[in-house]
Amino acid sequence: ESGYDAWLHYRRNRKVKNLPAWCKVIVVQEADEVLHTAASELQHGLSSMFGQQPRISAVPVSAPFIALGTFQEHAWVAERFSPEEQAEVSTEGYRIRGMGTPNPAHSTSHDNKDIKGTHVTVAGQTSKGVLYGVFHLLRYLQGGLDGKLDPTSEESLQAPILDVLSNPANSIRMINHWDNMDGSVERGYAGASIFYDNHAFTTNMDRLRDYARLLASVGIQALSINNVNVHHVETELITATFLPDVARVAAVFRAYGIQIYLSINYASPIQLGGLTTADPLDPGVAEWWQAKAREVYAAVPDLGGFVVKADSENRPGPFSYGRHHADGANMLADALRPYGGRVIWRCFVYDCKQDWRDRKTDRARAAFDHFKPLDGLFRDNVILQIKNGPMDFQVREPVSPLFGALKATQVLLEFQIAQEYTGQQRHLCYLVPQWKEVLDFDTYAQGKGSTIKRIVSGALHSKSDSVSSRRKAIVHVGSGSFQEEQTSPSPKRGNYGIAAVSNIGADANWTGHLLAQSNLYGYGRLAWDPELSADEIANEWVRLTFSGQGTEDASADLIPAIKQMLLDSWNIYESYTAPLGVGWMVSPGHHYGPDVDGYEYSMWGTYHFADCRGIGVDRTTATGTGYAGQYFSPHADIYESTDTCPDELLLFFHHVPYTHTLHSGQTVIQHIYDTHFEGAERAAQLKDTWISLREQLNEGIYEQVLERLEHQAEHAKEWRDRINTYFYRKSGIADQKNRPIY
Ligand code: BDP
């Protein structure tokens, strides 16, 4: 086994001999591409698990069956649910009902007397909802979900007790690819791009379809397919040269309910159109984009829209023309509006040289400083995409203060599934616990309960989709150099959600480290339902991926053991890398492996300020950069003082002596030594646990993961030694436990 099938492995159910009666016929009446996908996914899953292929029928039959359909178009399906029950399902949600569950509302009128035995219904408002429902059902049948259905019991399977209602919390559930057309992937750790090769699109559409299956199975429905840093060739993705290819790729994903987006080059009017400017307020530029949008949408009528990285890390943008981000985003949004397109404008904007020029400025402040003054100025088809933290996907960062501060602007939260700073898919780092902390963080933007998950789902600030009230906004930007007045629409729930940078590539197992598949799975599940716990998601993923691998008795401890490895891994990684939230300390450029001063004297604004007296960045309002003041109360006060700042973020907010005592009772220097020794030991234990599971694992899977865990254990020692030695030499303070530091 290579791991290619990931969590959709559908191993043969050894306990159940025959296909349950209700699985023998799949009834689908509607001629709809996504419903067709749903039916064939179900057919494939059932035949793999039960060794017998179900038949697909367009009409109900007189034997038990499973019906898939929408309330609007499939009368038999609709009749299984009361109008109230139907109304509880959102656009992409679903209901599943097995006849084992009596429906009091319908017990007389809706029970179809002609049908003997059990039947099951998967229903939604849309075919996408039905597709997600089918994947939910398949998770049940694989044993990946706790519930009333026991897939190992013939009896339970014959008359399943199923009554499920599930609606996605977030309307947009997106993956961003940082793939380049030469076949490389920026920050890719799992081989080459699956989309491009040698400046052309891939011809391997099967691989793309298999990817679409993985994504749809966890509810992803939006996908940008090229790097946010748009170079020369990728600029041409929106031209006749490549649009036919984009259309072919869009067709593959469309069948799985996934919309494609393209990252664009802000300077396209110059680079493609031969214009002398890309000034957003220049009528010629706006016209150029309008014509371009017409051309693009003629090729891909349901394109989601454009993703834009502008005025950051040397990318072009409106600043060159003295304009602000709203000018740039709105001009593009107007061009896309006739086609229902969106502009996803990234807030990862900072002047990479500013902190070097002036040590009083602070890269952490940049997103808030740039975008807070523009709140309310964006069109209703612009969404601002904000990284989870103010810096850049470090193992530990505070939550970006821009969330909640934007009250009249639609936002997407950006996570990074790719483990750029968290072990590059060579170290194990299950990121769901980190994402959970972000989603659960209470910003207090509108008092207690203003959590990130409510902000990014649109629950806190948006009106419902149908409301189109408009209001006036007058804005003073920067030093009051100009004022602007325009109408700006109310935020809509449909334009909120979560995006994340992909961790997949052309490696046989998709993610390099097989266990890193859990991050892709977990991201999708969390974007659907942020209330799921990291433990529940790990449990699902491990059961779907590993159950049925070894002998039955043996796999009893396989599942909890692998789950525990995942749950411990973020904390382990954090403990042997940069301490107490200070971040970085990685090799410049590729960002792998320890280099304590790697970025310390560069211009990128990522410093730890360690000297012989102390370490950390003073981001307080009283004496530092003022970053702490960007939070709402009480966080602004909590972070401002070392008395209340949480230990894990101490060095992000404060510069302290090595002898400073943490809330844990330990000094900073002793904490560094202790966590680094323990972290390296615990990394070695991950490897030992895996070795102890050998007999229960398929050999191919065992070997590939072992190779990664062995590397991690060795590399963790290097991290330990380099960090400890550095701080021992800087501080001159010995380890209380006298362990070897050189
Ligand atoms: C950083 C990456 C860089 C990306 C940038 C971004 O190191 O490669 O281009 O983020 O998000 O994390 O634009």
102 — pLDDT class (breaks 50, 70, 90): very low
Residue 426 in this model has a pLDDT that exceeds 70: yes
**Other C-beta atoms within 10 Å of 58: how many?**
9
What are the start-end ranges of the E strands in 180-337? Answer: 196-197, 200-201, 222-224, 259-263, 305-308
State which amino acid sits at residue 6: A
Q: What is the structure's pLDDT at 478? A: 40
CA distance 315 to 261: 19
480 within 8 A of 495, measured Cβ to Cβ: no
% of the chain exceeding 70 in pLDDT: 91
Using most ligand atoms within 8 A of CB, pick from 392, 395, 586, 602 the residue to mutate for ligand 1.
Answer: 392
At the fourth CATH level, which superfamily is domain 172-516? Glycosidases (3.20.20.80)
Q: What is the structure's pLDDT at 1? A: 87
Residue 657 pairs in a beta bridge with 614
Q: Which two tokens stand for residue 729?
A: 């030499």
Pairing type for strands 411-416 and 470-477 reads unpaired
Mean pLDDT of 675-700: 97
Decide: 184 in ligand 1 pocket, CB within 6 A: no
356 — pLDDT class (breaks 50, 70, 90): low
The side-by-side arrangement of strands in the sheet containing 120-124 is 55-57, 25-28, 66-70, 120-124, 94-98, 163-166
Q: How far is the CA of 492 from the centre of ligand 1 (A)?
A: 28
> Which atom of ligand 1 is the closest one to the Cα of 227?
9
Q: What is the structure's pLDDT at 350? A: 84
Q: How far is the CA of 390 from the centre of ligand 1 (A)?
A: 13
Residues 6+ apart with CB under 8 A from 558: 546, 549, 550, 693, 696, 697
Mean pLDDT of 326-343: 98
> Which atom of ligand 1 is the closest one to the Cα of 309?
13
Closest C-alpha to ligand 1, atom 12: 392
Closest C-alpha to ligand 1, atom 9: 229
Closest C-alpha to ligand 1, atom 2: 187
Residue 676 in this model has a pLDDT that exceeds 70: yes
Mean pLDDT of 51-60: 93
Mean pLDDT of 321-349: 97
Residue 424 in this model has a pLDDT that exceeds 80: yes
Decide: 420 in ligand 1 pocket, CB within 6 A: yes
573 within 8 A of 515, measured Cβ to Cβ: no
ipTM score = 0.98
Q: What is the structure's pLDDT at 490? A: 75
Cα–Cα distances (Å) from 535 to 166, 414, 431, 564, 684, in that order, read 19, 22, 12, 9, 22
Q: Which helix (H) or strand (E) holds 476?
A: strand 470-477
Residue 441 in this model has a pLDDT that exceeds 80: yes
CA distance 369 to 670: 36
Q: What is the structure's pLDDT at 357? A: 57
> Which atom of ligand 1 is the closest one to the Cα of 312?
13
Q: Which two tokens stand for residue 566?
A: 């995942």
659 — pLDDT class (breaks 50, 70, 90): very high
**Other C-beta atoms within 10 Å of 741: how many?**
18
Q: Which two tokens stand for residue 719?
A: 């991290």
Residue 482 in this model has a pLDDT that exceeds 70: no
How far is C-alpha 175 from the chain's CA centre? 6
Q: How far is the CA of 689 from the centre of ligand 1 (A)?
A: 34
Pairing type for strands 196-197 and 470-477 reads unpaired
CA distance 609 to 659: 16
pLDDT digits (tens, 9 = 90+) for 200-230: 999 999 999 999 999 999 999 999 999 999 9
CA distance 79 to 46: 25
Q: What is the structure's pLDDT at 640? A: 98
Q: How far is the CA of 602 from the centre of ligand 1 (A)?
A: 17
Decide: 348 in ligand 1 pocket, CB within 6 A: yes
Decide: 213 in ligand 1 pocket, CB within 6 A: no
Nearest to 259 by CA among 34, 54, 40, 443: 34
Catalytic residues: 313, 392, 420
Task: With 0.90 as the threshold, say if the pTM is over it.
Answer: yes
Decide: 228 in ligand 1 pocket, CB within 6 A: yes
Q: Which helix (H) or strand (E) holds 371?
A: helix 366-371
307 within 8 A of 263, measured Cβ to Cβ: yes
In this structure, is the dihedral angle defined by the CA atoms of residues 305, 310, 315 and 317, taken in order, positive or negative?
positive
Q: How far is the CA of 336 from the centre of ligand 1 (A)?
A: 26
Decide: 186 in ligand 1 pocket, CB within 6 A: yes
Decide: 414 in ligand 1 pocket, CB within 6 A: no
State which amino acid sits at residue 554: A
Q: How far is the CA of 567 from the centre of ligand 1 (A)?
A: 27
Decide: 618 in ligand 1 pocket, CB within 6 A: no
CATH of domain 547-617+655-742: 3.90.1330.10
Q: How far is the CA of 598 from the centre of ligand 1 (A)?
A: 17
Mean pLDDT of 318-347: 97
Domain map (residue ranges) of the chain: 6-167, 172-516, 547-617+655-742
Q: What is the structure's pLDDT at 605? A: 79
358 — pLDDT class (breaks 50, 70, 90): low
Residue 118 in this model has a pLDDT that exceeds 70: yes
Closest C-alpha to ligand 1, atom 1: 392
Cα–Cα distances (Å) from 183 to 198, 307, 503, 505, in that order, read 6, 20, 15, 10
185 within 8 A of 542, measured Cβ to Cβ: no
Q: What is the structure's pLDDT at 51? A: 94
Tell me the CATH number of domain 6-167, given options 3.30.379.10, 3.40.1670.10, 3.40.50.300, 3.10.20.740.
3.30.379.10
Decide: 604 in ligand 1 pocket, CB within 6 A: no
Pairing type for strands 656-657 and 614-615 reads antiparallel
Q: What is the structure's pLDDT at 468? A: 35
Residue 329 in this model has a pLDDT that exceeds 80: yes
Q: Which two tokens stand for residue 16?
A: 């159940």
**Do 6-167 and 172-516 fold alike per CATH?**
no
